[in-house]
């Protein structure tokens, strides 16, 4: 097995390679003056099971193209198998038709990767895992929530309240709660499909005087966390934290979240941001070690 260090996740790829004790292949990449992408694998991969590590946060489209190019280059160089590790998988939220005339974007992304030569995919906390069934090759999502919860237990926050901003994220809050050992609950969230505006509403639970941590898979514009934090304040939470796997933090999201009374935003290195305080390397290297020995 060899690990290809995709340009979008070279640092994470290095850490994974070191922990899993797998040989690395670096990648030369550039963008041509007209905006087209170029990549070249800088090592031999013939007869190898090649694992390409490349996240696809913004700029999503060029990172996806780079990923497809790396997979195709590996196959051209006679790799035996190509597995892609995509910590943040772009377009996973468009996993069904919400409005007439739309595309199921994640299905198109999966077909494109398949055509490029991808044989298997591993991602982290995919928005809706049932979309993986649409992939034409084996694909799985692994969870970084235990790593995030452990970050808080190491800070001494055992028994903190784990809050999901909506029912769909309750499995995430439950997963965190099993490590934190406190209670868990969820709010209600509605998003306007045309404007993207979110409206978060209250549910009944007791957070008065407690530390509450809002857990979500993604923080994008921050609207969801701001709405949830306002409700936690109204309910008398003593301290509020926001934890997510993919801290996209678009525009002034970080400022808006902190202004809403959140003490700290904690994310992983699936996406590079100031909130990337927890590394996915132990989680992914464990997965690759199992693949190696399996």
Active-site amino acid positions: 189
Q: How many CA atoms lie within 13 A of 198 on its CB side?
A: 17
Max CA separation in the chain (angstroms) = 60
Distances 133 to 1, 50, 54, 129, 151 between C-alpha atoms, Å: 26, 23, 21, 8, 32
Count other Cβ atoms within 10 Å, centred on residue 14. 16
Residue number, 48 or 166, with CB nearest to ligand R5P: 166
The two structure tokens encoding residue 21: 């004790």
Q: Which of residues 248-267 bind ligand R5P (CB under 6 A)?
A: none
Find, among 221, 220, 215, the residue nearest to 242 by Cα.
Answer: 215
Verify binding: residue 243, ligand R5P, rule CB under 6 A.
no
Q: Does 169 bind ligand R5P (CB under 6 A)?
A: yes
Nearer to ligand R5P, 27 or 257 (CB): 257
Give the interface size with ligand R5P as a residue count (CB under 6 A). 13
Q: Which is nearer to ligand R5P, 134 or 256 (CB)?
A: 256
- Is 144 one of the binding residues for ligand R5P (CB under 6 A)? no
> 267 φ, ψ to 5°?
-130, -175
Distance of CA 231 to the CA centre of its chain: 26
CB of 252 to ligand R5P, least distance (A): 12
Q: CB of 226: closest distance to ligand R5P in angstroms? A: 8
- The residues in 70-129 that bind ligand R5P, with binding defined as CB under 6 A, are 127
Nearest CB to ligand R5P, comparing residues 145 and 218: 218
Residue 260 makes CB contacts below 8 A (sequence gap 6+) with 225, 226, 229, 230, 233
Selected from 222, 232, 280, 287, the binder of ligand R5P by CB under 6 A is 222
Site residues for ligand R5P, 180-219, by CB under 6 A, read 198, 216-219
Q: Mark the segment that binds ligand R5P (CB under 6 A) among 116-124, 222-230, 265-273, 282-290.
A: 222-230
Locate 54 and state its tokens.
């490349």
Residue 221 touches ligand R5P, criterion: CB under 6 A: yes
Return d(Cα 270, Cα 248) in angstroms, integer. 9
* Coil, strand or helix at 72: helix
- The whole-angstrom separation of Cα 44 and Cα 115 is 22
Work out how close the CB of 253 gets to ligand R5P at its nearest, in angstroms, rounded to a whole number: 6
Q: Which of residues 34-73 bind ligand R5P (CB under 6 A)?
A: none
| Pick 116 or 242: Cβ nearer ligand R5P | 242
What is the closest distance, in whole angstroms, from the C-beta atom of residue 172 to ligand R5P in the complex?
A: 9
Whether the CB-CB separation of 216 and 247 falls below 8 Å is answered with no
Tokens matching residue 288 = 């690759």
If the CB atoms of residues 94 and 221 are measured against ligand R5P, the closer one turns out to be 221
Q: For the CB of residue 117, give the shortest distance to ligand R5P in the complex, in Å.
A: 30
Q: Give the separation between CA 180 and CA 184, rounded to whole angstroms.
A: 10
In the complex, what is the shortest distance from the CB of residue 148 to ligand R5P, in angstroms, rounded to a whole number?
14
**Chain residues in the site for ligand R5P (CB under 6 A):** 127, 165, 169, 198, 216-224
């Amino acid at each position: 097995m060899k690990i290809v260090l995709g340009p979008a996740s070279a640092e994470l790829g290095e850490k994974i390679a070191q922990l899993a004790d797998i040989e690395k292949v670096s990648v030369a990449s550039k963008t041509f003056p007209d905006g087209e992408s170029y990549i070249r694998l800088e090592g031999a991969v013939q007869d190898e099971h090649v694992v390409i590590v490349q996240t696809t946060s913004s700029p999503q489209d060029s990172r996806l193209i780079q990923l497809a190019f790396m997979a195709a280059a590996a196959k051209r160089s006679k790799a035996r198998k190509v597995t892609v590790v995509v910590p943040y998988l772009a377009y996973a939220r468009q996993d069904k038709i919400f409005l007439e005339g739309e595309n199921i974007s994640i299905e198109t992304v999966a077909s494109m990767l398949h055509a490029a030569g991808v044989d298997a995919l591993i991602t982290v906390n995919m928005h809706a895992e049932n979309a993986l069934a649409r992939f034409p090759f084996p694909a799985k999502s692994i969870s970084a929530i235990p790593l995030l919860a452990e970050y808080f237990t190491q800070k001494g926050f055992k028994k903190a309240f784990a809050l999901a901003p909506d029912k769909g994220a309750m499995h995430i809050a439950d997963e965190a709660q099993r490590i934190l050992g406190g209670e868990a609950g969820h709010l209600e969230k509605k998003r306007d499909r045309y404007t993207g505006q979110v409206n978060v509403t209250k549910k009944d639970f007791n957070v008065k005087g407690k530390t509450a941590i809002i857990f979500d898979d993604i923080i994008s514009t921050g609207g969801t966390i701001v709405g949830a934090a306002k409700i936690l304040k109204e309910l008398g939470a003593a301290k509020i934290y926001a934890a997510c796997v993919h801290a996209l933090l678009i525009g002034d999201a970080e400022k808006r979240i902190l202004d809403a009374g959140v003490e700290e935003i904690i994310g992983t290195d699936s996406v590079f941001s100031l909130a990337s305080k927890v590394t996915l390397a132990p989680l992914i290297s464990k997965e690759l070690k199992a693949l190696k020995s399996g």
